Chain A
Amino acid sequence: MAEVAEKEKIVEVQKEPLFSKKNRKLITDPLTDNNPITIQVLGICSALAITAQLKASIVMAISVMFVLALGNVVISLMRNIIPSKIRIIVQLIVVATLVIIVDQVLKAYAYSLSKELSVFIGLIITNCIIMGRFEAFALAEGPWRSFLDGIGNAAGYGVILVIVGFFRELLGSGTLLGFKVLGDPVEKTGLYAIGYENNGFMVLPPMALIVVGLIIWVQRSRNKELIEEH
């Protein structure tokens, strides 16, 4: 790991603009061809657990973005003084601190949401994407690039969460962000008046897995290069 860090340092010496093409790729790549969920298949657990409602998905995406971007910067700043033998412990402390901040902020300002997300905010600590980016990127790159990488990966994660959350809430509960966009199922207005019914399967976590699978299918059939060789 240390070797890699030195190599990267040499590269870094050359000055480059803040949003050079290379830096921009740090944000755009995870959104599409290197998406943490659909390509690397990381962070699936929370994607399945909390996407029944769009609001929870958005809050989760923002929380992860906060933790990942700041954590990446902190780790990157400390990368030369962290002894590599205990780096996992240091990384865990950094994530845990940030996660507790998020948790406390949610409890203070959005208590009901915090209840709804329950343990899953705390479980951001175990989100594979975060440790993965610390290990693979922040330990070897400067703070600015690490920050961009954090934003990019969290955005890639968030986009999938929001897409899954959108379909699961719309088809499973007939609402979006709590608004009854399809009409009222009890009073039979809107679509419900003609016999439409909510799809209970959509609320269950297995359907989240299927929706993620469908997204992966669509993505890979549009870009054949992503299909693995066997």
Chain B
Amino acid sequence: MGLKQNLHKLKEKYKGTKMAPAFNALHTFLYTPNETAHGGTHIKAADDLKRTMNMVILALIPCLIFGMFNTGYQHYLAAGEIQAVSGGFFSSEFWTMQNFTLGFWKILPLIIISYGVGLGVEFIFATIKGHEVEEGYLVTGMLVPLIVPIDIPYWMLIIAVIFGVVLGKEVFGGTGMNVFNPALTIRAFLFFAYPTWMSGDKVWVHGAVERAKEIVAGSNADAISGETILGGLAQSHPIDYSVLDMFFGFIPGSVGETSTLLILLGGLFLIFTKIGSWRIMLSAVIGALVMGYIFNLVVAGGLITETSKFYGLMSTEFWHHLLIGGIAFGIVYMATDPVSAAQTNKGKWIYGFLIGFVSIMIRVFNPAYPEGVMLAILLMNVFAPTIDHMVIRGNVKKRLKRAKLKTA
């Protein structure tokens, strides 16, 4: 009989009671339901919510695996125990078991917390409301560990996940009704609530915070610098990473965001499976490039000198902006969230363009918020319905005009 049958029995037992949705969800989450449709009268669609979600998760897996290796790599590199990678993407110095083991054991708890707490909240709300548990959290739960600092204290993550799921999603009516991207709501909460853990030059490499504390306490160990490229540029520090390092992702940063190459592959996968909108991705990239180029022109025009605090980021070549920080990750996996993004095709172009544009603007003008992409996406989430409204109104007007012309 096994677990499936037992679960089914439990489900039948609790049918009609308050707990029914919880058992039902657990059952459908793990197995195919016992009551599937037979015969040929049904419309078949391969892309239900669960499949869609699974596709996104599949697209995230390479970033996750790479992030595990990179976590270990950055830690041992910063601690001075290994040499920097010299070869290409597949160089054996990077893909070592030592790197993977450290990253795996650091990231696994984050994933467990993210899913455990998030799904727990979903179950509780489904039980209270008496509706079925929705699959909406599956992607959010995978995104969260990829966008938080590796050493984030677990209790902070728990609070943030509860906050994000309840206020980012459940208050609006659950999956499909949320105004904001829940994963970004979680990150924004952490960012504003615990800024010392979310920004600065210590949080992105495992061990850097601990080491800094030891040094304050009088230890002789070398400090671990976990400075991200963005943080360095904001202070006009020279950057000693090559463009290829940035593209391959051998740089410090949150788990999922560093490898632009893998994000690009994930993005192509999402476009190919028609889950992510290519319009949003493309227009966001264009928006970021345009803004970056404007800043480059400002520097080239001599309007700003090296003494300016914006010089470091403004003078960064415009296409480098796409390689550093979380902008690529945000554009591919978060801006395309079908629920909180604009729905009309024209609206998607505007929505995406403004995300890229505003991201770089925030990044350059406010070094305290280097992750402009998070704030830009949340901001545009708010505007998405308005953009759609304007697009639809514009279309209505155009057609009315055409109708008038015909009748006149």
Contacts and interface: CB of A to CB of B under 8 A. Distances in A.
B119 to A, nearest CB: 22
Contacts of B159: 199
A195 B152 CA distance: 11
Contacts of B192: 200-201, 204
Given A195-B153, A195-B155, A202 B171 contact: no
Interface in B122-181: 153, 155-156, 159, 167, 171
A204 B196 CA distance: 16
Contacts of A210: 167
Interface string B171-204: 1000000000000000001001111110000000
Nearest to A199: B193
A13 to B, nearest CB: 49
Given A195-B153, A195-B155, A200 B194 contact: yes
Nearest to B156: A197
A195 B154 CA distance: 10
Contact of A202 (B153, B156, B193): B193
B193 A201 contact: yes
Given A210-B167, A217-B171, A200 B193 contact: yes
A199 B194 contact: yes
Q: Which DSSP category, helix, strand, loop or mixed, fits chain A's interface?
A: helix
Interface residues of A, number: 11
Given A210-B167, A217-B171, A200 B195 contact: yes
B131 to A, nearest CB: 16
Interface in A173-202: 195-197, 199-202
Nearest to B189: A201
Interface in B34-86: none
Contacts of A195: 153, 155
Nearest to A214: B167
A200 B192 CA distance: 6
A200 B159 CA distance: 13
Interface in B102-129: none
21 contacts: A195-B153, A195-B155, A196-B155, A197-B153, A197-B156, A197-B194, A197-B196, A197-B197, A199-B159, A199-B193, A199-B194, A200-B192, A200-B193, A200-B194, A200-B195, A201-B189, A201-B192, A201-B193, A202-B193, A210-B167, A217-B171
Given A199-B159, A202-B193, 8 more contacts: A195-B155, A197-B197, A199-B193, A200-B192, A200-B193, A201-B189, A201-B192, A201-B193
Interface of A: 195-197, 199-202, 204, 210, 213, 217
